[in-house]
Structure 1
């Protein structure tokens, strides 16, 4: 598994989602607060709805925009909290396509394409 991962989220049918052929995901949606976190994180990215770069890792890397802290597991997914936005978001079991276990922290960088 990579230590730093990159996906390109976009809006489809007014929901955030992403494709990642290398792990077998197509139109994988973000919801239950994860969509709100993306809205807040991409506020300054023009046309983010058409796609933006989201870099994430369980390990800190320079220039991260936010750190999501693991809170609890729920329905095979996991809740994470953002101090930056004082918001929680649920990440579905697709998280395990990238990590063996739910990471204690997820470090995230968002940027325009």
Structure 2
């Protein structure tokens, strides 16, 4: 009988170890891919507008009010919104870690610093810093951010 009891506990222990290892691996892979987060694997939408000399946006869903774009990103937004009439009154900006139909530009991750992350736009060549507010949308910085600017349709 002692052999059966020992075998049973060995099997239970092995099953538990496999479960923990599997969950740990899943968590590691999703964090590394930037997929685990508040809005993982989806297209997010914000509405930038011009305020006090720079682009800002509000997102009450994640607790942001007049969150400014800084350090090169306002110039990137100027490029994205250049063909949108009255863009400074507000426009729709879609962004995702995954390419989506109608992607206008792709920002490529360059490096992080203690607070935010630097991204590069290739055409035209630009670099900008995205502040820690990005972590309201992603747990880890995506290797690429696919974006599209659209006219805000008012009814």
Root-mean-square deviation (Å): 0.7
Aligned-partner Cα distance in 1 for 2:135–2:124? 24
Question: What is the match of residue 3 of structure 2?
Answer: none
SS at match of 1:84: coil
What is the Cα deviation at residue 5 of structure 1?
0.3
2:121 alignment partner in structure 1:
82
The structure with more strand, counted as a fraction of residues: 1
**By how many angstroms is 1:41 displaced?**
1.0
1:4 aligns with 2:43: yes
- 2:108 corresponds, among 34, 47, 69, to 69
TM-fit CA distance, 1:84 = 2.0
| Alignment equivalent of 2:76, drawn from 22, 37, 53 | 37
Hey, what's the Cα distance between the residues in 2 that align with 1:47 and 1:14? 15
Detail structure 1 runs of 4+ shifted over 2 Å in the superposition: none
Structure in which a larger fraction of residues adopt helix:
2
Equivalent residue number for residue 63 of structure 2: 24
Unaligned runs of 5+ residues in structure 1 are: none
CA shift digits 1:36-73 (9 cap, x unpaired)? 00011111111100000000000110110000000001
Whether 1:102 and 2:141 are equivalent positions in the alignment is yes
> TM-score, normalization: structure 1?
0.97
Q: Distance in 2 between matches of 1:95 and 1:56?
A: 11
1:55 paired to 2:94:
yes
Distance in structure 1 (CA, Å) of the matches to 2:80 and 2:67:
19
Shift of residue 75, structure 1, vs aligned partner: 3.6
Q: What is the deviation of 1:92?
A: 0.1
Structure ID, larger Rg:
2
**Structure 2: 5+ residue runs without aligned partners?**
1-37
